């Protein structure tokens, strides 16, 4: 009972969730429309086939109404051609036959009767019926040119089963039967479409509930992934500086710039993870160097530079965070090739790393560090412009200049709680569970 209640609770909650409802409804609609079309067409086709089978069956059945007994009496001159005419007229009156012929056992025509309704028969059909060979078994050929017609033949057998004559004729299905068939076909198609719709309506809440459960799980995994990012990124930030807001700020800067220059969502996801973990390798740098208040010696700087390769090694073994490697490994490369660790230049540096280098420097300049006061926005931009084309990719820098002031106002001075909330919001948009 508890499970049933929980199920309905999930379903009703799902209906309240606009997104889940919309996604499921869209998907079901995409399935229902073609499925209805196919099911309706199958039902229509089945009805038409059934109707044609009935026409053929009735034609043969009516053709067999001419008995050998009547023919035998004619052969023995007990009745004449006029009597056979009457027999055929009855057949034409009581059935769909509009013309009928009786043949002898040697397939010579004995008599032919053409009714008034035969006027609707086309020349082609007359020719076809004329040319048709008469087999020794009941046979019907149906045509749907402009109306449903059939050419039917049936052998006339004596009591011992010997064939002593044949009947051949053309049937034209009466308009009433035809419209009845059309109504039946439309009805069958509609029933089929309605059944499909009802089935969809029954399974709709079940799909919604399942989808809702998947979304809940996905949200948990996503938040778990986000927390993993925070734990890893902040582990370094806590050692490196008084505050860990740098990671949040620099990641939000990078996301803002990436969206402004209209990068693809897949690259934005990489930028989000890579920006947050960019200095993860500093975890392997000793305190003596990492926290040294003064300028580093050349040897110490060489050690400090190794945080890039250490970071790549740390992330390499995780399929999820390894997406960050392009930024972690290249965030100190410079556009003119004077950076490290590999001195690559221009577009050889991954796009996301070229973008990140800009916002990383921007944050360093505009925030307070133990060894310096923050610089103003304009002052920071002046310094950075000097490095445009040397340190920074000019194409990305142009976009950065367009959004720098807005980024600075919205992110630069925001408190930790706001930054974290904003980044979690972005994570929901860009971090996929399967990514
Ligand atoms: Fe770094």
> Which residue, 174, 196, 227, sits at the end of a domain?
174
153 and 286 part of one domain: no
- Residue 415 CA, ligand 1 centroid: distance in Å: 23
CB neighbour list of residue 381: distance below 8 Å, 6 or more residues apart: 401, 404
User: Average pLDDT for residues 240-262, to the nearest whole number?
Assistant: 88
Domain count of the chain?
2
304 and 168 part of one domain: no
Question: Is the confidence at residue 25, as pLDDT, over 80?
Answer: no
- Residue 420 CA, ligand 1 centroid: distance in Å: 21
- Return the residue matching tokens 């975890």: 283
- Residue 243 CA, ligand 1 centroid: distance in Å: 16
pLDDT, residue 6, reads: 55
> Which residue, 120, 142, 174, sits at the end of a domain?
174
The CATH number given to whatever domain includes residue 395 is 1.10.3210.10
* Residue 31 resides in a domain: no
Could you list which residues have their CB under 5 Å from ion ligand 1? 279
167 and 273 part of one domain: no
- Residue 45 CA, ligand 1 centroid: distance in Å: 70
* Residue 4 resides in a domain: no
User: Average pLDDT for residues 314-330, to the nearest whole number?
Assistant: 89
61: tokens are: 């059945």
> Which residue, 174, 195, 214, sits at the end of a domain?
174
Residue 135: which domain range? 77-174
The CATH number given to whatever domain includes residue 138 is 3.30.450.220
383 and 256 part of one domain: yes
- Taking 3-state DSSP, the helix, strand and coil percentages for the chain, each rounded to the nearest 5, stand at 65, 10, 25
Question: Is the confidence at residue 20, as pLDDT, over 80?
Answer: no
* DSSP track, 249-299: HHHHHHHHHHHHTT--HHHHHHHHHHHHTTTGGGGGS-HHHHT-SSPPPHH
154 and 245 part of one domain: no
* Residue 225 resides in a domain: no
259 and 401 part of one domain: yes
* Residue 403 resides in a domain: yes
* Residue 72 resides in a domain: no
- Residue 172 CA, ligand 1 centroid: distance in Å: 89
Question: Is the confidence at residue 433, as pLDDT, over 70?
Answer: no
* Residue 21 resides in a domain: no
361 and 264 part of one domain: yes
For residue 323, say if its preceding peptide bond is cis, omega within 30 degrees of 0: no
Task: Kindly report, residue by residue over 61-88, the tens digit of the pLDDT.
Answer: 887 778 888 888 888 888 898 988 998 9
pLDDT band with cut points at 50, 70 and 90 for residue 434:
very low
């Amino acid at each position: 009972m508890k499970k049933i209640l929980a199920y309905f609770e999930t379903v009703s909650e799902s209906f309240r969730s606009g997104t889940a409802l919309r996604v499921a409804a869209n998907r079901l609609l995409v399935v229902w429309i073609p499925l209805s079309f196919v099911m309706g067409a199958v039902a229509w086709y089945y009805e038409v086939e059934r109707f044609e089978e009935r026409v053929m069956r009735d034609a043969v059945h009516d053709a067999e109404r001419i008995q050998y007994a009547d023919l035998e009496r004619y052969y023995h001159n007990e009745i004449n051609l006029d009597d056979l005419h009457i027999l055929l007229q009855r057949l034409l009156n009581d059935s769909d036959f509009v013309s009928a012929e009786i043949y002898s056992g040697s397939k010579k025509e004995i008599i032919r009767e053409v009714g008034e309704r035969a006027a609707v028969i086309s020349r082609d059909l007359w020719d076809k019926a004329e040319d048709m060979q008469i087999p020794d078994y009941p046979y019907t050929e149906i045509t749907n040119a402009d109306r449903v017609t059939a050419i039917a033949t049936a052998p006339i057998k004596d009591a011992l089963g010997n064939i002593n004559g044949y009947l051949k004729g053309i049937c034209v299905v009466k308009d009433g039967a035809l419209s009845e068939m059309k109504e039946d076909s439309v009805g069958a198609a509609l029933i089929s479409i309605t059944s499909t719709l009802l089935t969809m309506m029954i399974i709709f809440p079940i799909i919604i509930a399942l989808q809702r459960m998947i979304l809940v799980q996905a949200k948990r995994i996503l938040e778990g992934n986000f927390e993993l990012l925070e734990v890893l990124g902040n582990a370094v930030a806590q050692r490196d500086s008084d505050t860990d807001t740098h990671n949040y700020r620099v990641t939000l800067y990078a996301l803002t710039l990436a969206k402004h220059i209209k990068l693809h969502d897949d690259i934005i996801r990489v930028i989000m993870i890579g920006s947050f973990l960019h200095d993860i390798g500093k975890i392997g740098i000793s305190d003596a160097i990492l926290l040294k208040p003064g300028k580093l010696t050349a040897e110490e700087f060489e050690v400090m530079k190794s945080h890039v390769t250490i970071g790549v090694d740390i992330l390499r073994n995780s399929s999820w965070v390894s997406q960050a490697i392009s930024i972690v490994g290249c965030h100190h490369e410079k556009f003119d090739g004077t950076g490290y660790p590999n001195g690559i230049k221009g577009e050889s540096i991954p796009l996301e790393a070229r973008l990140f280098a800009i916002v990383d420097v921007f944050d360093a300049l505009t925030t307070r560090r133990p060894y310096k006061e923050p610089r103003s926005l304009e002052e920071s931009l002046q310094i950075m412009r000097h490095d445009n084309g040397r340190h920074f990719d000019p194409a990305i820098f142009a976009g950065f200049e367009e959004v720098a002031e807005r980024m600075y106002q919205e992110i630069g001075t925001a408190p930790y709680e706001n930054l974290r909330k904003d980044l979690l919001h972005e994570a929901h948009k860009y971090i996929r569970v399967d990514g």
